[in-house]
A and B are shown apart, each in its own frame.
Chain A
Amino acid sequence: MPVIVYAILDSKQVIDASSHGISSFSSGSGVELEFVSASTLTAMVSSQSDNTLSNSRQEVLAYAGIVDTISKKYSILPMRYGSVVASYADVTALLEKNSELFVNALNKVMNKEEYSLRLFFSHQHQDDFVHEQNVDITRSPPEILLGNTENKNYLLKKYQQHIAEEKRINYIKTIQLAVAKYLVNVTEIVDFKKTTTFGCIVDAVLLIDKGRKNELLELVAAMQSIYPEHNVILTGPWPPYTFAQIKLE
């Protein structure tokens, strides 16, 4: 019977789990979760009747919802949707084989929560920023591109776009450095993701100690007042997906 794995946690957190082998936990979503323990680790799992795993958005969200519910109660390593093994014995084998990896990763996220922090250009400021750059760039084109031929005009346009992009990247780096300096007051565990849209200046994920949420909120509010031209958005707490990535054996 296939078994879906939702999370790995330290057995000490689970009352009775290590001594009884399997006990249960209500996820609040109708799925009955069981604890499967091996040595110092416990996996939270549910069995399913068939081998098929739906790929629907609804199923993925339901899975994420269960992981989220567990993370509110325990410090966990959240598993990804599709973490399915063939039997309870395989769950035990998974825990035993990867014990060291799991323990190290768990130590990293123990009593911590993940938050997402994003800064966007407000649409008005985005237009102003582009306009300012265009005025600046058209002032001093490289001499070799002057001459008013079709080919040179094309290259000049490309060059201006290139300079605008470079300036935007430098601006983003400056803001990211400032944000990192701010965040260091609550944590040093910050992962800045590559920004993928023009409007996104900062896309960061951070791990903070449980109980420091209000400090983080105050910090974010202060950040917003320093950068009124940008929109700050803070979400969380999330299960520590970003900081609990491990390669299983």
Chain B
Amino acid sequence: MEEDKILFYAGSANEIIEELEKINPGDQTRINATPENVESGLAKLVLTLIELIRKLMEKQAMRRIEGNSLTEDQIEHLGETLMKLEYKMEELKKIFNLTDKDLNLNLGPLGDLL
């Protein structure tokens, strides 16, 4: 950013630069599929979508807990399912050498997917 465009800022410049970089992470949020890396590009896309669905399931579970609509057995079952899902995702991320930061997509004006 041109310096003359910064009209006002407070706090440490390093902190601000760090936060701005988080908002505009550049290339890392793109699905960068090429003929050479099509497998990892596709894996990134698929795992991002799975992660989105997993997070939605978690949200839904939290709503049900808040609504106090679950029995003891259902709670145990839900906890086990969500835990296994998370562990499985961790395994898959390791296999494809992906991190949490990789599993996101920038949707332009809509913001980030996750």
Q: Are B65 and A151 within 8 A (Cβ)?
A: no
Known: A122-B11, A233-B8. A200 touches B76 (CB 8 A): no
User: Which residues of chain B are within 8 angstroms of A115 by Cβ–Cβ distance?
Assistant: 7
CA distance A136 to B47 in the complex (A): 34
Per-position binary interface string of chain B over residues 1-24, scored 1 when its CB falls under 8 Å from any chain A CB and 0 otherwise: 100011111111001100100110
Q: Are B65 and A232 within 8 A (Cβ)?
A: no
| Interface residue tally for chain B (C-beta within 8 Å) | 35
Q: Are B62 and A158 within 8 A (Cβ)?
A: yes
User: Which residue of the partner chain, among B19, B61, B83, contacts A197 with CB atoms under 8 Å?
Assistant: B19
User: Which residues of chain B are within 8 angstroms of A158 by Cβ–Cβ distance?
Assistant: 58, 61-62, 82
Interface status of A221 (Cβ within 8 A of chain B):
yes
Interface status of A238 (Cβ within 8 A of chain B):
yes
Q: Are B78 and A155 within 8 A (Cβ)?
A: yes
CA distance A217 to B10 in the complex (A): 13
Total of A-B residue pairs, C-beta within 8 Å: 108
CB A59 to nearest CB in B, in angstroms, measures: 16
Per-position binary interface string of chain A over residues 131-152, scored 1 when its CB falls under 8 Å from any chain B CB and 0 otherwise: 0000000000010110101111
Q: Are B11 and A231 within 8 A (Cβ)?
A: yes
Interface status of A49 (Cβ within 8 A of chain B):
no
Residues of chain A in range 183-240 having any CB-CB distance to chain B below 8 Å: 193-197, 199-200, 203, 213, 217, 220-221, 224, 231-236, 238
Find the B residue at minimum CB distance from A120: B19
Known: A162-B59, A200-B22. A233 touches B16 (CB 8 A): yes
Interface status of B111 (Cβ within 8 A of chain A):
yes
CA distance A200 to B19 in the complex (A): 7
CA distance A153 to B78 in the complex (A): 12
Known pairs A232-B10, A233-B6, A233-B8; list 7 more (Cβ under 8 Å).
A115-B7, A153-B79, A154-B82, A155-B78, A155-B79, A162-B62, A234-B7
